[in-house]
Amino acid sequence: MDDPTILDDPSPGSPPPISSSASLLRDEVDALIATRLSRLRVPASLRAIFNARAAARRRRVLSSWCNWVAGFGLISLFIGWASVPAGRSAFAMYSSIAVTLAFLATAQIIRRRLLDRAGDSVISFPVTLTLFLSLATGYASGEATAFLIYMIMSMALVWSSITYLDIGFPVTLGIAAFATICVAVFTMLSVLPGMPEKLLLLVFLTVTTAGMVNARRVQNLYAARMFLLQLRDELRSSEMADLNTNLARLANTDRLTNVPNRHFFDARMAAMQANPILYLPLAVCIIDIDNFKQLNDRLGHLEGDRCLQLVAGTLRENLRAASDFVARYGGEEFVLILTQTDVKAATQLVERLRKAVRALDYGNPGTAAGYVTISAGLAFASGTGFDARQLVETADRALYRAKAAGRNQVCT
């Protein structure tokens, strides 16, 4: 049973370095942010992330805008009735109904994510269809006033789609180009008087459309820059979190033996003492390498360090599951925490550890036996609570008895 207050064992492996791929991504993002805004492009490697983050908001905006245009399509029924001559009003009515249905269907498609792969281009069809039908309605009316009304409505639709909708620049450019061509053709064929007036109107509409297309391009560029800035902040936060985790692991790990250090052991015991019911019955064992000073004196400190590493690894490998815990207590001493373990089970486990160290057959010329052995002192806690300091002192006294009795044995 796990307690959320208990710190994770930092012993398995060394602290992982910050991911090189994450570092490369951060460098790529930094380079993009430093790019001149007019030349900024979100690369393919980041495009999926960029689109995914904007997808939900864009769907809401697109669907609500489509519903708004559909509502306006119904209103245009009355505009057609009022501005188009009675003999030609049927086409205007049918066009308004077609526009309404097209935008209602598009809103449902966007909301239900039926054409997610199509992306921004899903909006192109209803916009271009409405533009064509509106201009055709105005042209078919045979009235200059009606043509101007329908042309203004169609261009208002195009301009609002360009400025309001967060769509990609290629789709924007396609809608604007189609609109410019359609307006030019229908204007030249219309009953509007005077070629100079027609040309002046086309220049005004074209320049206005071009300005809005450029505004959409700048908005998209700033959206890309904002995305990259947010991504850079997230990457830096992630790196700082990884760094803090690594620093905490370093602070809690004995660098020679790669098991938790005494500081971490003390913190873990304190946390367990605060919530003992999850861990009792509990055993604490202090282990000492016999005659370690003689090994250091005769074979040197490098060999002594290797002996500590081998013993630490043997203890860790022969423990049970993650519920057991080993730490370096200081010098040649190690300490074990065995949770939910009674006297018999703990004694058997520590005896197995003693035999495993003996089976290493690691030479120690400072002892009569000629090989490395360990002595261990066990202390136990049961009931409803325990005092961590007293438990460790009891285990230390048991270790003293084991060493006084001849070493290479376990005392409780």
Confidence bin at 6 (pLDDT 50/70/90)? low
DSSP 216-252: HHHHHHHHHHHHHHHHHHHHHHHHHHHHHHHHHHHHH
pLDDT at 46 over 90: no
Residue 145 forms part of a structural domain: yes
65 and 125 inside one domain: yes
Give the pLDDT mean for 255-272.
92
| Position 253 in a domain | no
Q: What is the mean pLDDT of the chain?
A: 87
Least confident of 20-24, 254-258, 383-387: 20-24
Query: Would you say residue 174 has pLDDT above 90?
Result: yes
Residue 222 and residue 275 in one domain = no
pLDDT bracket for residue 11 (50, 70, 90): low
Residues 145 and 29 in one domain: yes
32 & 163 share domain: yes
Q: Which of 1-5, 69-73, 245-249 has the lowest mean pLDDT?
A: 1-5
pLDDT at 329: 94
Instruction: Please check whether residue 135 lies inside any domain of the structure.
Output: yes
- Residue 104 falls inside a structural domain: yes
Q: Is the dihedral of CA 69, 71, 77, 80 positive or negative?
A: negative
In-domain check, residue 248: no
On whether both 156 and 72 belong to a single domain, the answer is yes
- Residue 204 falls within a domain, yes or no? yes
Per-residue pLDDT band for 213 (boundaries 50, 70, 90) equals very high
Q: Is a pLDDT exceeding 50 seen at residue 17?
A: no
55 and 131, same domain (yes or no):
yes
Question: Based on the domain organization, do 209 and 166 belong to the same domain?
Answer: yes
Same domain for 314 and 192, yes or no, is: no
Question: Counting beta carbons within 10 angstroms of the beta carbon of residue 59, is it exposed (0 to 12), middle (13 to 18) or buried (19 or more)?
Answer: middle
Predicted pLDDT of residue 335 = 96
Q: What's residue 27's pLDDT? A: 83
Domain count, the chain: 2
Instruction: Tell me what pLDDT residue 306 has.
Output: 95
Q: 273 pLDDT exceeds 60?
A: yes
Q: Is residue 13 part of a domain?
A: no
For residues 294-300, give the mean pLDDT. 90
**Percent of the chain at pLDDT above 70?**
92
Answer yes or no: do 295 and 208 share one domain. no
Q: Considering the chain, what percentage of its residues have pLDDT values greater than 90? A: 47
Q: Is the pLDDT of residue 118 over 70?
A: no
Range of the domain at 157: 20-235
Q: How far is CA 380 from CA 265, 343, 404, in A?
A: 17, 7, 21
CATH of the domain at 359: 3.30.70.270
151, 59: one domain: yes
pLDDT for 41 equals 87
pLDDT average, residue stretch 275-297: 92
* Rounded (to 5) percent helix, strand, coil in the chain: 70, 10, 25
Q: Is residue 399 part of a domain?
A: yes
Averaged pLDDT for residues 307-336: 91
218-231 mean pLDDT? 91
Res 13 pLDDT > 70? no
153 and 270 assigned to the same domain: no
Same domain, 169 and 32: yes
